[in-house]
Structure 1
Amino acid sequence: MKLDENTIGQAVKIYKALGEPTRIKIIKILYTLEELSCNEIEDKACICAKSTLSHHMKQLADCGLIELRKDGIYHYYRLNKEILRAFVSLEWD
């Protein structure tokens, strides 16, 4: 990967997003499952407030780690494993 200004900026966003334990937990959950709704993520991550989950999901989406698919009123999230692997070298299994 070429380390230019855009890549550096993206890296900073990713590392800031992963600087919160709940967001790492969400990434780990999404790593093992193909796609989840907000409610499913909320249950699996044990997050009580929807506003808290929304904040975490926005941080992860803004840096490109997760992708959103809308189906009517439902939102489904999927991990962008390519971005994760490019910037993070951890064992997720």
Structure 2
Amino acid sequence: MTTIKIAPFDAAEYLDSEEAIAEYLSAALEEDDPALFLAALSDVAKARGMTKMAKDAGLGRESLYKALAPGAKPRYDTVLKLARAAGVKLTVEPAHA
């Protein structure tokens, strides 16, 4: 019997452009799950580099880790700063019934 080895999936490895990041975060937002969106934002921060992301967002590195920790409820302005630091902006569009 052949054993198949599977490496753990790390989305951060594929988030190599602002377009990919925008698509990834948009897909996470469509799920209506704040924890999923924060996990996706955490993947983006890993892809960009936590130190760089914190600096670009005007946050301390420790504050960034706390804001993206499972169960965290970061402030709206923190989420906006992180989106800008990721090179994306959040937009609103009409919901289709």
- Normalised by the length of structure 2, the TM-score is 0.35
Structure with the largest fraction of strand: 1
Higher relative contact order (CA 8 A, sep 6+): 1
- Normalised by the length of structure 1, the TM-score is 0.36
